[in-house]
Amino acid sequence: MQAFTTLTGIAAPLPLANVDTDKIIPARFLKTIKRTGLGVHLFDTLRYDAEGKERPEFVLNQEPYRHAEILIAHENFGCGSSREHAPWALLDFGIRCVIAPDFADIFFNNSFKNGILPIRLPRPVCDLLIEDAKLGGNARVTIDLARQVVVRPNGEEIAFDVDPFRKHSLLEGLDDIGQTLMHAAAIDAYETTQPDWMPGIR
């Protein structure tokens, strides 16, 4: 998993509440177990019309937001059915951080496990950041995970909370498998002490 330390990038304003996982990545694209190739279908029904043509009014079809690495939305982002493809699609598009007043629990947890930082900030602050984002490519936002601050284009710093364990995992680029592999030597040593009659150990 790619580590998340400090990110400075374009923020895309998405002033919508209750953006569910089917909007993030429609169910018809869940046939793959690969984490790549899903970015083109991110927000598919919002980005494309029935003929597959881009909707010019949708933010991610506009410059400079085609290159956004930060997404700012309203309440209950990631609600709906559980699907790990939702953070996969965001990450494959290039989104590394989502800022919203709150998130659906499963999406929130899956984001950390895939290297995306979800940040909870009050609605008025999100609206302020959305207005910043509307200024376009010159209005870069910085996310400093180590210091736990969002830096607005004008230099103002906004503090955010993050679980210490999840913060450590992101800073070190450790997903669940990575966390386990840190203890590989201890696991190997333990397995050598098991009796031969225990199946699957040796």
* CATH number reported for the structural domain that contains residue 50 in this entry: 3.20.19.10
Rounded Cα gap, residues 112 and 176, in angstroms: 10
* Domain count across the chain: 1
Residue 192 lies in a domain: no
Whether 103 is in a domain gets the answer yes
Q: How far, in Å, CA of 109 to CA of 32, rounded?
A: 21
pLDDT range class, residue 34, cuts 50, 70, 90 = confident
CA distances from 87 to 3, 57, 93, 180 (A): 15, 23, 10, 22
pLDDT over 90 for what percent of the chain?
75
In a domain, 193, yes or no: no
Contact criterion met (CB below 8 Å) for 132 and 152: yes
Arithmetic mean of pLDDT over the chain: 90
Using an 8 Å Cβ cutoff, are 124 and 62 in contact?
no
For residue 190, is it within any domain? Answer: no
Q: Give the residue numbers spanning the domain of 85.
A: 6-174
Q: pLDDT, tens digit, for every residue of 39-53?
A: 999 999 999 999 999
Report pLDDT digits (tens) over 171-188.
999 866 556 555 456 656
Mean pLDDT of 150-168: 97
**Is residue 200 domain-resident?**
no
pLDDT score of 54 more than 80: yes
The fraction of the chain above a pLDDT of 70, given in percent, is: 86
Task: Kindly indicate the confidence band of residue 135, based on its pLDDT and cuts at 50, 70 and 90.
Answer: very high
